[in-house]
Amino acid sequence: MKTKTLKTLGLAAAVAFAFASCTGLKKMVKKADMVEYTVTPNPLEMHGDTVSVTVKGKFPEKYFGKKCTLTVTPTIKWNGGEKKLKPIMVYGEKVKGASGQVITYKTGGNFSYTDKVAYEPGMHNCELFYTASGQVKKKVKVMPEKKIADGTIDSPLLVKNDEMPIIGKDNFVKVVPMNLETEIFFVVNQSTVRPTEKTNAEELKTMKTFIENTMNNSFIVYKNISISAYASPDGELTLNENLANDRAGSSMKYFMNTFFKDKKTKIDAGQNQNFYTTATTAEDWAGFENLVKTSTDAKIVQDRETILGVLKMYPNGDVREKEMKNLSKTYTAIADKIMPKLRRSVNSLNYDKKSRTDEMLSTMCFNMIDSLSVEELLYAATLFADVNKKLTVYQNAEKKYPNDWRTANNVGCAFLMLNKLNDAASAFMRADKLSANNPIIQNNLGIVAAWKGDRKTAMDLYNKAKSAGPEVMYNMGVIDIKNGNYSSATSNFGSYKTFNAALALMLGGNSDGAMSTIDGSKEKDDAMSYYLRAILGARQGKTDVMINNLKTAIQKDASLKEKAKTDMEFFKMRDNAEFKSLVG
């Protein structure tokens, strides 16, 4: 009975072998190495969180069974995991109902397909294999598994989270130009400053009091007094020119002898003519026209358009005066209400109001915040390089001025610099409630979203924030790298020279531009900058550039030794003696 069973099994195997032979499956298995597989790119590359693979296959002549269906399954394998790509189906020429690529027995043929899978960290060091199985009706033969590519270059992961938050800028001004103005009026045809002007004019009293109160104030710096003296346009021109000059002179003497005569004053310059600038107007027609336009006197209002018409029609002063005198009653009103106001000098004390010094503010911003304005506090924070000190000052500013969106916004910026994302997010939300849709705050909220991994929300916020400044476009460039849009990233980085800008250029294929950018960046001496240069050297086939920069990178950061050992950017250099010596 046992002998009979063995004979039966042997007969079945022989039949199966004969069937496989006639269908071509055996030959296809035996000569599987004759099939050529090409993978692009090789090594595999990660872009935009995915690994995209293009596999091309070439079948030789008289290989592919006419009734065979071949299923090829590319599979990425790494230590601890694997991912299968979608299978490729190809058919022999006599397969009924074939809906895909047909390969003829006599001439052979080609196939090509592309698939992508989500990148996982383990794929940093992986291999791409294919497994294939041929089938004729219910008969299946499995081909030997074969490695066809290595992987994965994941250099986009080098991108830095160096997004640029935008602070709410202060309006602090260290020196504010100021002036205090007063007028002195003169009697017709006179240039003497009358006692009544000295004792009764409120503006003069105000100026005199100001000078007395500030003469010892180190924050007030007098610059000069400018004097503009005028004569009314009635009367003879030469007389008016002399009057205007004399009025300027008498005004200057008045200030010298009244305001700056006392030696208690902090400036002796007030008694020096160089402290004064003078200008004169012999016939003040401009002042005349303005007073006519604003006068409420009934006579003048009644003939206002006629008077203004005379000014427009007759450029000559004598003719103007003659024509207006023809309006006898109106001219009387002009002589009484308009002309006296034109016989004057306009005097301006010009001075600088100095703000508190940096030294004062850098102390007061911690323990005397009640004495400081919001502008002083916001400016004081900029005086510190220590981010923790900046944060404290901004928090003091928010405590004192909680309704100013800049204080909360700047607290958030400081928290971002300290990598305290949740605290930053809370501060930006407080600022947003005070100033909704503010592009500066939108930019900063975009950074929060980006750091939380929500690129879509981040990009939406950045698009709303574009008017806030070039920082927004830079931040969009960081997202572009992560999304695999390297051309867009380079465009958005603009003229910024940073590690990320160089990385985008490299990933976009511009190695020379990348090298120039990293050399011109503030980060040029960082370990990762040397590491990037080493990658550029490897990509360009410049072994010396690769070795020299990798050596410096490892000297600056020993952890890069292990990274370089498995980095597929150096795949072609792994047999190089110097490289092997560097990475151990």
Report which DSSP code applies to 58.
Answer: E
Domain boundary among 90, 120, 153: 153
Task: Look at the alpha carbons of 243, 249, 253, 259 in this order and tell me if their dihedral is positive or negative.
Answer: positive
Q: Do residues 556 and 528 lie in contact, with contact meaning Cβ atoms separated by under 8 Å? A: no
Contacts of 118 (CB under 8 A, 6+ apart): 49, 50, 51
Collapsing DSSP states into helix, strand and coil, what is residue 562? helix
Same domain, 146 and 180: no
- Tell me the HSE value of 409 on the side-chain side, using a 13 A CA sphere: 26
More confident residue, 266 or 455: 455
Collapsing DSSP states into helix, strand and coil, what is residue 456? helix
Distance CA 537, CA 322 (A): 91
pLDDT category of residue 25 using cuts at 50, 70 and 90: confident
201 located within any domain: yes
3-state helix, strand, coil split of the chain in percent (to 5) is 55, 20, 25
559 located within any domain: no
Same domain, 180 and 327: yes
Q: Do residues 215 and 265 lie in contact, with contact meaning Cβ atoms separated by under 8 Å? A: yes
Q: What is residue 578's predicted lDDT score, i.e. its pLDDT?
A: 93
**Long-range CB contacts for residues 14-23, cutoff 8 Å, separation at least 24:** 16/139, 19/136, 19/139, 20/139, 20/141, 23/65, 23/67, 23/68, 23/136, 23/139
Q: Which structural domain range is residue 76 located in? A: 19-153
Poorest-pLDDT segment among 187-191, 203-207, 406-410: 203-207
pLDDT category of residue 195 using cuts at 50, 70 and 90: confident
Average pLDDT of the residues in 201-205: 82
CATH code for the domain in which residue 60 is found: 2.60.40
Same domain, 137 and 201: no
Is-cis flag, bond preceding 87, omega within 30?
no
Same domain, 200 and 339: yes
3 located within any domain: no
Torsion angle defined by CA atoms of residues 40, 45, 49 and 53, in that order, rounded to the nearest 10 degrees:
20
- Tell me the HSE value of 202 on the side-chain side, using a 13 A CA sphere: 0
Q: What is residue 82's predicted lDDT score, i.e. its pLDDT?
A: 92
Domain boundary among 324, 354, 384: 354
525 located within any domain: no
Q: How many residues does the chain have?
A: 584
64 located within any domain: yes
264 located within any domain: yes
pLDDT category of residue 272 using cuts at 50, 70 and 90: confident
Same domain, 227 and 94: no
59 located within any domain: yes
Strands 101-103 and 175-185: unpaired
pLDDT tens column, 157-174:
999 999 999 999 999 999
Q: What is residue 144's predicted lDDT score, i.e. its pLDDT?
A: 86
Average pLDDT of the residues in 220-238: 91
Poorest-pLDDT segment among 234-243, 368-377, 385-394, 398-407: 234-243
Tell me the one-letter amino acid at 230. Answer: Y
Torsion angle defined by CA atoms of residues 303, 306, 312 and 315, in that order, rounded to the nearest 10 degrees:
-90
567 located within any domain: no
Same domain, 91 and 212: no
pLDDT tens column, 419-428:
999 999 999 9
pLDDT tens column, 554-568:
999 999 999 999 999
Collapsing DSSP states into helix, strand and coil, what is residue 382? coil
Same domain, 141 and 260: no
Same domain, 340 and 201: yes
Same domain, 206 and 347: yes
And the tokens for 341? 């106001």
CATH code for the domain in which residue 182 is found: 3.30.1330.60
**DSSP characters over 185-243:** E--TT--S--HHHHHH-HHHHHHHHHHHHHTT-TTEEEEEEEEEEE--SSS-HHHHHHH
pLDDT tens column, 335-344:
999 999 999 9
Same domain, 94 and 131: yes
And the tokens for 149? 């590519």
Average pLDDT of the residues in 441-469: 97
pLDDT category of residue 21 using cuts at 50, 70 and 90: very low
Average pLDDT of the residues in 195-207: 77
Average pLDDT of the residues in 73-94: 92
pLDDT tens column, 124-143:
999 999 889 999 988 999 98
Residue 369 burial class via C-beta count within 10 angstroms: exposed 0-12, middle 13-18, buried 19 and up: middle
Distance CA 177, CA 352 (A): 5
Average pLDDT of the residues in 327-340: 88
Total domain count, the chain: 2
The rounded mean pLDDT for the chain is 90
And the tokens for 77? 């394998």
Same domain, 247 and 309: yes
Domain boundary among 354, 374, 392: 354
And the tokens for 93? 């020429």
Residue 390 burial class via C-beta count within 10 angstroms: exposed 0-12, middle 13-18, buried 19 and up: buried
Q: What is residue 77's predicted lDDT score, i.e. its pLDDT?
A: 95
Q: What is residue 11's predicted lDDT score, i.e. its pLDDT?
A: 35
Tell me the one-letter amino acid at 70. Answer: L
Same domain, 220 and 129: no
